[in-house]
Structure 1
């Protein structure tokens, strides 16, 4: 009996072996998750298209026509008041090279910042994650602003004599800088807006003078010292400078720092995503 008891005890004390699925089953699970994420992102993009002026006649076209019309109207108004631009001979294209990347940054950063709040009802479903909501808004608004920029620049160059030499690779680089910065700031604010309710109105106040200190109406090189050194830390100054360098090849813009803009954007994006990964469940339940 004692031998049986000892053998029973030995059986009980045996460590449990971890049961792992075969490699082919793990691959199937990963593929299923990827396809589920792609389906969720596609559904969120379609939802974004439907809710963006979805009830108005024309639907998604208004999401493009509204910023194109607004920027075009502002361009015409300021062109009538400022005949001689600080650079080149055409004020419309000078102003557009500043306002287009600025508005792309402003609109996209705001849309990404409200991703969780906008899709919070859908995040209750296990198939939809906060990352899906972020990626869907980033893709949707990136495509929209690329179309808007293409229409505005093409329209101005087609209608007016701008005497510029657009470099498409440099234009693309300027848009990448603007949209990456917007994504980074939006991801960080996506956490801050939900975690601290007082941060959104404060951020709105801080953004008010940004229009005046981003070199939209003037050239960075013409700003007297020491104010020029202060404005250099505004990453949008580099974005606008890059866009003007793309249209005015003779304008070198020696102050433009790609390392500063991309480094700052990637750093803010990494921190924002880390905070969202850590606290997204608390934010969804709040």
Structure 2
């Protein structure tokens, strides 16, 4: 009587590993596609990704240095505004890119190998890595060419950019649902985010805002992101109001709600 020979452990696990590697290949392909469409077709490509925030930073420095003798913290205008502007831009770009992931990959989602999570992760990975690189180049250039009188606290600075990326991902996933069902939300979100630079601690220190507005603005999670960034460049700045747990909680709640709706309704949103 013939008996079935047991399969080696490698063959037993092959079906478990194939989907994982297939998803990784799919995300990599989507990242390469995103790179070619976003940075490969425009003049300058990645150069413009560095020039755009650099010009915005230069405008802030020129605007406020003419009317103020010193920035609200420290002695160098460039590093002060860079410490708030770069994590703010990271959040903004990640949110916008992830929020458009459903519409951007709508045709590819018809393939069974491509899932909505692949599209979201691909846009998130490329955008967040690009913004981290741009932020590193600008901050390193300022620290290397100017007398800033700052002390770099790398863990705090990295924590600020991690918070910005996580918050951008969570709110971006929620926006992806809203944009898929209500395309007008994309324009509404663009209008809503314009005044954020004024109320997120980028230009003014949260500590110096008078009450009761200070307590109201505390609920803006970006205030905590910029506050943590400042503690990463100014050793004497404590930022006792910063709550990393609050930022990650907002990101987790928004991302979870967004994923639940995307998983259940994304096929319906593709037909709209």
Question: TM-score, length-normalised on structure 2?
Answer: 0.91
Q: Over aligned residues, Cα RMSD in angstroms?
A: 2.0
Q: Pick closer, same or farther for the CA change 1:277–1:63 going to 2, 3 Å.
A: farther
SS in structure 1 at match of 2:171: helix
- Structure 1 residue 71: Cα displacement: 3.7
Match in the other structure for 1:240: 226
* Contact 1:191 1:276 survives alignment (8 Å): yes
The answer on 1:67 being equivalent to 2:67 is no
Which residue number in structure 1 is paired with residue 205 of structure 2?
219
Q: Give how far 1:56 is off.
A: 4.1
Instruction: Report what 1:154 is aligned to.
Output: 140
Number of residue pairs the alignment of both structures matches:
265
Distance 2:86 2:13 in 1: 44
Out of 111, 120, 137, the residue aligned to residue 106 of structure 2 is 120
Using the alignment, how far apart are the partners of 1:177 and 1:281 within structure 2? 31
Distance 1:181 1:53 in 2: 24
What CA distance in whole angstroms lies between the structure 2 residues aligned with 1:135 and 1:40?
10
CA drift of 1:54 comes to: 1.2
CA distance in 2, matches of 1:98, 1:196: 32
Q: State the shift of 1:34 in Å.
A: 1.3
TM-score, length of structure 1 as denominator length: 0.87
Output the CA distance in 1 between the equivalents of 2:186 and 2:80. 32
Could you tell me how far apart the structure 1 residues matched to 2:221 and 2:156 are? 17
Q: Which residues of structure 2 form unaligned runs of 5+?
A: 1-7
| Alignment partner, residue 75 of structure 2 | 89
Task: Provide closer, same or farther for how the CA distance between residues 284 and 30 of structure 1 changes in structure 2, counting only shifts above 3 A.
Answer: farther
CA distance in 2, matches of 1:203, 1:279: 21
Structure 2 CA distance for aligned equivalents of residues 235 and 55 of structure 1: 34
